Amino acid sequence: MGEYSGDKKKALKKIIERLHKGESPEQVKKDFKEMLPDISPEEISKVEEELIKEGMSREKIHKLCDVHLAAFKESIEKEQPLAPEGHPLRILMEEHKLLLQYGNELQEVSSKISQAEDFQSIKKELNQLQNIKEHFQSSESHYNREENVLFPYLEKHGITQPPAIMWSEHDQIRGLEKDFYELLDSRDRMKIQDFSPKLQQKAHAIREILSSHFYKENHILFPTGMRVIEPHEWKEIRTQFDELGYCCFTPKDVRKTFKGGVKTMSKNKEGKVSFETGSLSREEIENIFNSLPMDITFVDKDDTVRYFSNPPERIFTRTKAILGRKVQNCHPQKSIHMVNKIVEEFKSGKRDKAEFWINLKGRLIYIRYFPVRNSEGDYLGCMEVTEDVTDIKKLEGEKRLLD
């Protein structure tokens, strides 16, 4: 027992390493209660950061997460974010409750369908499934607000690994929900005997991951946020939440005005910026970029997001919270290796463009990355240009100016 005296973080790290080596969670749980009865979620998060820095892979930390949650459950549940009305965390936690209710409903409906002999006898249940699907689709707003607003603020305060793990779980949730949508949409081509077991399997998987994921956020991530994020920053976060919008099921009473306001910078519209080919005011520059029929984001030479345009109709979500964020943290874990490869090849001069195109909600989206260099060829950063080219792709013949 003597080896655990002293710094709590060192003791916690040793306990986590014991779990990782395969020691019994029950034994670890017992020792934990004796040695570290008052450990906080923030300290757990910091230990995860240290393990990553020392070489433990994020994948191992992720696998370990469920195990150490079981061991630390009683202590973790002592920590609850005391979020007042209108607070961003109160909104997210209320959405968690409702999403978990939809997950429970999905499992209950799938159980009823398992006893049906044909689709004609389960019209009510199929309508319920469609309603659940629509609510899950609307929940994309919930995950967007976390990924594009809350997570960047946590990262500013040195909490980087827990948000990354939570984002990877968001992608798992999205994948399972997509499978559910596809199964529901394909039922007309299936026999109920084939449809029912697949539905039960997917319903169980969705219910389990929602329960586990929301528990981690409610009891570890959110209390950590309450400790490290400043009061004035919560006001900024709430403003950006409002700008992104909410789920169709987000209760209006939890969206009450969050007391206090956010100070806005006055816009200096005076003065001109001189270029080699002319001069423009700050107001003109800003609105030229915002008038372009595309989204533009600039990442500087240190891989930090410095600017994004604000056109009337954005393709991908951008919030002020990403400014100052490392570009690697703006992408899900599965994409980071490709982001790093493109950036490194831009910096080395091996590449002068990277382009992709995807189908998004029935539209063809063209995504391009360009290195930005000065007249001497020095790398200044990278520009992302995202454009909806659906209608451009349909062009034929010609149309003159006066036609």
What's the rounded Cα separation, in Å, for the pair 41 and 162? 11
pLDDT of residue 53: 76
Q: What is the CATH architecture of 294-393? A: 2-Layer Sandwich (3.30)
3-state secondary structure of 116: coil
Q: Which of 111, 108, 122 is nearest to 197 (CA)?
A: 111
In this structure, what token pair is assigned to residue 100?
């978990």
pLDDT of residue 270: 57
Size of the chain in residues: 403
**CATH code for 88-255?**
1.20.120.520
pLDDT of residue 36: 65
pLDDT of residue 126: 94
Q: Which residue has the tokens 């979020």?
A: 83
Residue 183, CA distances (Å) to 19, 177, 179 in order:
38, 10, 6
In this structure, what token pair is assigned to residue 158?
């040195």
21 by Cβ neighbours in 10 Å (0-12 / 13-18 / 19+) ranks as: exposed
In this structure, what token pair is assigned to residue 284?
């003109």
3-state secondary structure of 382: strand
pLDDT of residue 248: 94
Q: Domain segments of the chain: what residues?
A: 2-76, 88-255, 294-393
Neighbours of 31 (CB within 10 A): 17
pLDDT of residue 361: 87
pLDDT of residue 267: 45
Rounded mean pLDDT for each run of 10 residues along the chain, 403 residues in total: 51 74 74 68 71 72 62 59 82 96 96 91 94 96 96 91 90 96 93 94 96 91 90 93 93 73 44 83 91 94 94 88 88 84 94 94 94 92 95 88 65
pLDDT of residue 257: 74
Contact 294, 312 (CB under 8 A): no
Across-strand partners of 326?
304
**pTM of the predicted model as reported, rounded to 2 decimal places:** 0.70
CA 203 to chain centre: 22
pLDDT of residue 266: 41
**Cα 130–131–133 angle (5° rounding)?**
65
